[in-house]
Amino acid sequence: MSCPASAPVLEPGPKTLEPAAPLLESRPETLEPGPETLETSRVRGRNPYVRLFTTPGTVAFTAGRLLARLPMGMFSVSAVIMIAGSRGSYALAGAVTATGLAATALVAPWIARLVDRHGQAKVAVPATALAALGSIALLLCVRLDAPDWALFAAYAATATTPNTGGMSRARWAHLHRGDPATLHTANSFEQATDELCFMLGPVLAALLCSTLFPEAGTLAGVALLLTGVLIFAAQRSTEPPIAPRTSAGSPLRAPGMPAMLAVLLATGAVFGSMEVVTIAFADGPAGGAVLALQAAGSCAAGLVYGRVSRSAGLVGCLAAMTALWSLPLLAAGTGSLAAVAGTLLLAGMATAPTMVTGMTLIQRITPPESLNEGMSLAVTALLGGVAAGSATGGWLVEHVGAVAGYAAPVCAAALALLLAGLTAGTTKARLS
């Protein structure tokens, strides 16, 4: 290091030595970071999922969300067991649950719009209470042998159940809007937990209904839903603030939103057709376990995908989904349920990355003041696709057989890929 030109070299005076001391003392602070820098370094070096929950309040609202999400996989199974056991008709049970699904698709966006305008806590709690009353009313109608129309009316009332998954993703988007990598991890975690609840919910419902009494699954679901939403809503520190309304109107008008909803509609058809065709192919109680393998593959892939620093892109994810969903079609030709189960595990690994990427796009397309409504529209599109896929899969099974029925999810995935490719130019700017 060269000396300053103004400093005496041979005989420095006191005034030259005195300013040198602070310069020397400051050097350790430059070489050795202080406590705040060390703590920041430790946080950044942690597992991304551990780092995700360093924000105060995130553990509590996630716990509430999980408790509230688990019953979503319990109610339909419990309703089918209750109604079929009491009325002796699976057709009636299926019609009642289908009516509830259709009512949810219609009502959910309106509930989400109220959430955006008035806040999560103010809307979610009364909406959940109304949905819980609907479930209890269904239970009483079955128990008291009420007319069939009363079953439809009671189950339709459960459509006010708020979309806790969408509200949870809205919280992550609020907390990490300026940090795409952390938001990617959060969305991956949300998708993985959705798959976990999808696996555990039906199993828990069937266990309770078979070992205790037919209404046990519904009662447990109501208790879990109310408890979970109350815990979730109580975490006000992480709740997104109510944004002022703009003249933008519905998020349906946002550029790229209709195209993305069309992609999600086709993606939902993959799942709906797969469920019906797999149950028909298994033709027995093993069908539930086989479907759980598909969810397990998705859950594992979601956790791994969350540790990746960047998204694979929606087109890339859908291309992988289309390729992997051709495997069950090939395996079904062998007639081996074990082969189909193994390929469903592999095919499921494309589900979570596709859903994470799609939901991230929805978050970025949707105006901040309508985020809950935008997420609810995405779920509505998926539910519509599931319903269409279920109907298509059932028709194929009945007319051409379960083996050929596995062509339905492949075709639906290919359609989603085509739509995503056509809209890539619209969504690319949103990802940058």
How remote is the C-alpha of 314 from its chain's centroid? Answer: 16
In the structure, what pLDDT confidence band is assigned to residue 246 with cuts at 50, 70 and 90? low
What Cα–Cα distance (Å) separates residue 338 from each residue in 282, 300, 322, 347? 10, 20, 21, 14
**CATH code, residues 256-432:** 1.20.1250.20
pLDDT at 342: 93
- Report whether 359 contacts 375 (CB < 8 A): yes
* 3-state SS track over the chain: CCCCCCCCCCCCCHHHHHHHHHHHHHHHHHHCCCHHHHHHHHHHHCCHHHHHCCCCCHHHHHHHHHHHHHHHHCHHHHHHHHHHHHHCCHHHHHHHHHHHHHHHHHHHHHHHHHHHHHCHHHHHHHHHHHHHHHHHHHHHHHHCCCCHHHHHHHHHHHHHCCCHHHHHHHHHHHHCCCCHHHHHHHHHHHHHHHHHHHHHHHHHHHHHHHHCCCCHHHHHHHHHHHHHHHHHHHCHHHCCCCCCCCCCCCHHHCCCHHHHHHHHHHHHHHHHHHHHHHHHHHCCCHHHHHHHHHHHHHHHHHHHHCCCCCCCCHHHHHHHHHHHCHHHHHHHCCCCHHHHHHHHHHHHCCHHHHHHHHHHHHHHHCCHHHHHHHHHHHHHHHHHHHHHHHHHHHHHHHHHCHHHHCHHHHHHHHHHHHHHHHCHHHHHHHHC
Phi, psi of 129 (to 5 degrees): -60, -40
pLDDT at 227: 94
Cα–Cα distance measured from residue 316 to residue 322, given in angstroms and rounded to the nearest whole number: 10
Cα–Cα distance measured from residue 401 to residue 419, given in angstroms and rounded to the nearest whole number: 28
Q: Average pLDDT for residues 202-209, to the nearest whole number?
A: 82
Percent of the chain with pLDDT over 70: 84
In the structure, what pLDDT confidence band is assigned to residue 140 with cuts at 50, 70 and 90? very high
Q: Average pLDDT for residues 118-127, to the nearest whole number?
A: 89
In the structure, what pLDDT confidence band is assigned to residue 137 with cuts at 50, 70 and 90? very high
**Any residues with CB less than 8 A from the CB of 367 and at least 6 apart, and which?**
246, 248, 251, 254, 374
In the structure, what pLDDT confidence band is assigned to residue 413 with cuts at 50, 70 and 90? very high
Q: Average pLDDT for residues 330-337, to the nearest whole number?
A: 90
26 pLDDT more than 70: no
What Cα–Cα distance (Å) separates residue 314 from each residue in 244, 349, 372? 31, 15, 21
- 213-244: pLDDT as tens digits: 888 889 999 999 999 999 999 988 888 887 66
Find, among 52, 80, 20, the residue nearest to 168 by Cα.
52
Which range, of 187-201, 255-269, 317-331, 346-360, averages the lowest pLDDT? Answer: 187-201
Cα–Cα distance measured from residue 234 to residue 251, given in angstroms and rounded to the nearest whole number: 27
Global pTM reads: 0.72
User: In terms of pLDDT, which residue wins out, 216 or 177?
Assistant: 216
Q: Average pLDDT for residues 185-205, to the nearest whole number?
A: 82
- Report whether 389 contacts 410 (CB < 8 A): no
Question: In the chain, where are the structural domains located?
Answer: 56-242, 256-432
Residue with the two structure tokens 């069939």: 148
Cα–Cα distance measured from residue 168 to residue 171, given in angstroms and rounded to the nearest whole number: 5
pLDDT at 74: 82
In the structure, what pLDDT confidence band is assigned to residue 398 with cuts at 50, 70 and 90? confident
pLDDT at 424: 67
Cα–Cα distance measured from residue 103 to residue 95, given in angstroms and rounded to the nearest whole number: 12
In the structure, what pLDDT confidence band is assigned to residue 381 with cuts at 50, 70 and 90? confident
129 pLDDT more than 90: yes
- 36-63: pLDDT as tens digits: 444 444 445 568 888 888 888 889 989 9
User: In terms of pLDDT, which residue wins out, 420 or 166?
Assistant: 420
Q: Which two tokens stand for residue 263?
A: 């992609």
10 pLDDT more than 50: no
In the structure, what pLDDT confidence band is assigned to residue 320 with cuts at 50, 70 and 90? very high
- 414-432: pLDDT as tens digits: 999 999 988 766 555 444 3
pLDDT at 165: 83
Other CB atoms within a 10 A radius of the CB of residue 180 amount to 15
Q: Is 418 exposed, middle or buried (0-12, 13-18, 19+ CB in 10 A)?
A: middle
- Report whether 372 contacts 114 (CB < 8 A): no
pLDDT at 290: 83
Find, among 126, 101, 398, 125, the residue nearest to 272 by Cα.
101
In the structure, what pLDDT confidence band is assigned to residue 17 with cuts at 50, 70 and 90? very low
Q: Average pLDDT for residues 99-117, to the nearest whole number?
A: 83
Cα–Cα distance measured from residue 80 to residue 214, given in angstroms and rounded to the nearest whole number: 10
29 pLDDT more than 70: no
Neighbour-count burial for 339-376, b at 16+ CB within 10 Å, e otherwise:
bbbbbbbbbbbbbbbbbbbbbbbbbbbbbbbbbbbbbb
User: In terms of pLDDT, which residue wins out, 334 or 373?
Assistant: 334
pLDDT at 402: 85
12 pLDDT more than 70: no
106 pLDDT more than 70: yes
In the structure, what pLDDT confidence band is assigned to residue 31 with cuts at 50, 70 and 90? very low
Find, among 270, 293, 267, the residue nearest to 199 by Cα.
293
Q: Which CATH number fits domain 56-242: 1.20.1250.20, 3.30.300.30, 3.40.50.2000, 3.40.50.300?
A: 1.20.1250.20
Tell me whether domains 56-242 and 256-432 share a fold.
yes
Cα–Cα distance measured from residue 252 to residue 362, given in angstroms and rounded to the nearest whole number: 11
User: In terms of pLDDT, which residue wins out, 326 or 428?
Assistant: 326
